[in-house]
Amino acid sequence: MKETPSLHRRSSRLLRPLLFGYWLGASLLFTLLLSLIDVLERHREVVRAGEQASEVVASSMAVRMPSELRQGLVEAYGTTSGNAGADGLNLLLVVDDEGRVAYSSRPAWRLLPITDPVFSFPETSDPEFRGVVDCFRLNRHDCGLLRSGNIRIATGGLTVVRPVEMASQDLGLPRQRFLVVVNFDAGLIWVNLLEDVLVWLLVSMAVASLLVGFFWLAIATRLLPRMAEEAQMDGLTGLSNRTHFMEQAITLLAAAEESHSSYVFAILDIDHFKRINDTYGHGCGDAALVAVAGVLKAVTRPEDLVCRFGGEEFALLIPAQKEAGCRAMERLRIQLETSSVRYGGHRLSITASIGAVATGDSGYNIDYLYTVADRALYQAKQEGRNRVVWFGGEANSRLRLSP
């Protein structure tokens, strides 16, 4: 049986836009995920830089040194980190338990209260910095224990808050608490991210292309052929269905008309099929359809088209002259007559009526061939069934076949 790739081509045309959309969506999604991971990692680096600054302050608190020298150390650290610009350090403050800035990377702000309006600018508008300010504004007693989280995403500024202690010079006195507030410009994080977006986009497009290529290969080699086969096949009998048969018939008849080749078109209808269903059930009717399909598969050639047209009706299109077609149809009728179906302990004989037409008599239009073959089939049933009737009223049922 000949096959046509038309369904495969149509499916491919439908799938290509879907796969392109999948590729585009996957590329953007991968870019978004990689960018998010990049942002989180950069924020972790900033938090680590803040913790490092807190450790520097804590180390200076652990040894005795003049406060001016400690201020110089904090100022130098803030200047060095700020000039490096790698972590975007904006401000380093060491706040005592009364809310005053004991040490600052900006000397002019030393000894100012953390609640002073001078500390209100975009970079210090993040929740962590404002939380420190609000705590001292409300005169809470636990402000020296404030500690910021480790993972968060900020847009304007990002503040790392860590508590430190300095041992009192007088033995027996409690340790003095300080709060290290390290503020960073989060805008630098987003600027660096924008520089990486193109790289992430290219990486995502490459990964998405590999996935789409894999999916397309799996679909083209496994799914589409199976879908095409199932779409072209009658599920019960394994023969072609009507749609696939008509598509192939149109193509073959058009080529035959150009080359002046001859074809025979026939419709086969199982005799008394309704009686079989009513008497033995639809399961027996299905068994009869499968049996007829088996006979058709056995007696036809690879180049013949055979299909289940619907219900108990089958159709054939074979390349042959009318004389050869007469012998082929009669052999098919006899083969069906001598076959039987076993179902539920019953053995049923099967016969069929056949209406046939040759392209030499009726042309190459498949719709017209079906119409006249159907008329011949109706005549075969009217004349007693189990016979072949050709268009024009010629019957050759039960003829003696020449060898």
Residue range 356-366: average pLDDT? 94
What are the φ/ψ torsions at residue 65 (nearest 5 degrees)?
A: -155, 155
Q: pTM to 2 decimals? A: 0.52
The CATH number that applies at residue 352 is 3.30.70.270
Measured CA to CA in angstroms, residue 76 lies from 59, 64, 85, 91, 386 at distances of 15, 18, 14, 12, 109
| Within a domain: 315 | yes
Note whether 148 and 130 are within 8 A (CB): no
Per-residue pLDDT band at 124 (split at 50, 70, 90): confident
Residue range 253-274: average pLDDT? 95
354, pLDDT greater than 80: yes
Q: Residues 187-212: pLDDT tens digits?
A: 777 777 777 888 888 888 898 888 88
Same domain for 186 and 272, yes or no, is: no
Which of these ranges, 108-112, 157-161, 175-179, 393-397, has the smallest mean pLDDT?
A: 393-397
pLDDT for the residue 201: 87
| Within a domain: 236 | no
84, pLDDT greater than 50: no
86, pLDDT greater than 60: no
Domain count of the fold of the chain = 2
| Within a domain: 210 | no
Residue range 377-403: average pLDDT? 72
Helical residues (DSSP H) of 221-281, grouped into ranges? 224-232, 242-259, 273-280
| Within a domain: 248 | yes
Same domain for 87 and 169, yes or no, is: yes
Query: What is the domain range of residue 29?
Result: 6-193
153, 170, 193 — which closes off a domain?
193
Per-residue pLDDT band at 233 (split at 50, 70, 90): confident
| Within a domain: 217 | no
Same domain for 24 and 151, yes or no, is: yes
pLDDT for the residue 248: 92
Same domain for 268 and 356, yes or no, is: yes
Residue predicted with more confidence, 249 or 166: 249
76, pLDDT greater than 50: yes
Residue predicted with more confidence, 242 or 7: 242
Q: What residues pair up with 93 in beta bridges, in sequence order?
A: 104, 181
Residue range 172-183: average pLDDT? 79
| Within a domain: 173 | yes
pLDDT for the residue 169: 55
92, pLDDT greater than 80: yes
Residue range 68-76: average pLDDT? 89
Residue range 161-190: average pLDDT? 76
Same domain for 77 and 154, yes or no, is: yes
Same domain for 274 and 189, yes or no, is: no
The set of residues, in sequence order, having a beta carbon less than 8 Å from that of 388 and lying 6+ positions away, is 266, 326, 329, 330, 333, 353, 354, 355, 356, 380, 395, 396, 397
Q: Residues 98-107: pLDDT tens digits?
A: 999 999 999 9
The CATH number that applies at residue 147 is 3.30.450
CA 382 to chain centre: 56
Same domain for 279 and 351, yes or no, is: yes
Maximum Cα–Cα distance for the chain, whole Å? 131
| Within a domain: 87 | yes
159, 193, 227 — which closes off a domain?
193
Token reading at 361? 């008599």
Same domain for 12 and 85, yes or no, is: yes
Q: What is the mean pLDDT of the chain?
A: 85
Same domain for 303 and 177, yes or no, is: no
Q: What SS3 class is residue 385?
A: coil
Q: What residue ranges in 186-312 does DSSP mark as E strands?
A: 263-270, 305-310
50, pLDDT greater than 50: yes
Q: Residues 138-156: pLDDT tens digits?
A: 998 888 889 987 666 666 6
